[in-house]
Amino acid sequence: MYRLTGSVGQGGRNTHDDVLLVQKQLNKNAHIASTIGAVPETGIMDEATLRAILSFQRTVVRLGSPDGRVDPHGRTWRTLLGDQPQATNVAFVQLSGENGNFYLYEPQDRVWGTPSTIQSIKNVAEVLRPHGFEIGIGDISFQQGGRMAPHGSHRRGTDVDVRPVRADGRRAPVTITDPNYSHERTKLLVEALRADPNLKLILFNDSKMPGVRPWEGHHNHLHVRFEE
């Protein structure tokens, strides 16, 4: 279990092991807020770590006045661990049904999102309709938001996992190295996503795909983030 023995950051005790734990959690959460950036995992409290703590407090914990310190039982640490739901202002809606444009490959309690995110997915699926293939939608968020294992993100109703598109049209997983992976169809999907005014970023590891960012583990799905 991840437990801090003392506080980390501005004015904190900053023991080596505590600092290292915080640095590791910050890096896990870099996925959520791009402003956090990558922090060297050294166990030494430095400028980059402090900047990342402040940025995390500002953009994710949403503290009015970030203090740059992570306390063992404080909100910042609980949020870094994913135990604290993210603040959201809008009620989530469920992406329901399958209409020939998309299908769900995870249980229905995992496909809740902000109204604008859900609308964007439906719009993208509609844009792709003439191309004659379905898109597979995976995890979005739980109805109340909060932690969704195994992800660091997917807490705010704005992150959507989407399968790369297969050449054979089957509703099945596919990776970018699979012969059934269709780069061309997936490119159409990426283009449709990027044309959506609500799109923030796409993490995906096909290095020949324009407009996506590589991220560890994203060879078998596109992680799509929309604006809040």
Q: What is the dihedral of CA 103, 200, 120, 228, to 10 degrees?
A: 110
Among residues 137, 168, 176, 142, which one has the least CA distance to residue 156?
142
Task: Name the residue nearer to Zn ion (CB basis): 134 or 161.
Answer: 161
Tokens of 87: 């603040």
Given the complex with Zn ion, which of 84 and 220 has the nearer CB atom?
220
Nearer to Zn ion, 147 or 223 (CB): 223
Give the integer Cα–Cα distance in Å for 217 and 76: 26
| Residue at 79: amino acid letter | T
CA 83, 89, 94, 99 torsion-angle sign? negative
Shortest Å, Cβ 105 to Zn ion: 13
Amino acid at position 101, single letter? N
As measured in angstroms, the least distance from the Cβ of 217 to Zn ion is 9
Task: Please give the C-alpha separations between residue 178 and each of 60, 167, 202, 224, in angstroms, as whole numbers.
Answer: 36, 10, 20, 21
Spell out the long-range contacts of 207-212 with Cβ–Cβ below 8 A and sequence spacing 24 or more. 208/183, 209/183
Nearer to Zn ion (CB atom), residue 166 or residue 223: 223
Query: Considering beta carbons, is residue 156 or 223 the nearer one to Zn ion?
Result: 223
Q: Which is nearer to Zn ion, 79 or 141 (CB)?
A: 141
Restricting to residues 204-223, name those near Zn ion by CB under 5 A.
Answer: 223
Alpha carbons 121 and 142: distance in angstroms, whole number:
16
Stretch that binds Zn ion, among 55-63, 114-122, 160-168, 177-185 (CB under 5 A): 160-168
Name which position in 18, 161, 196, 206 contacts Zn ion (CB under 5 A).
Answer: 161
Interactions with Zn ion, residue window 91-130 (CB under 5 A): none
Residue 154: CB minimum distance to Zn ion, A: 6
31 binds Zn ion (CB under 5 A): no
Judged by CB under 5 A, how many residues of this single chain contact Zn ion? 2
Residue with smallest beta-carbon separation from Zn ion = 223
The residue range among 12-20, 43-51, 161-169, 185-193 that interacts with Zn ion, by the rule CB under 5 A, is 161-169
Q: Are 42 and 26 in contact (CB under 8 A)?
A: no
- Chain positions contacting Zn ion, by CB under 5 A: 161, 223
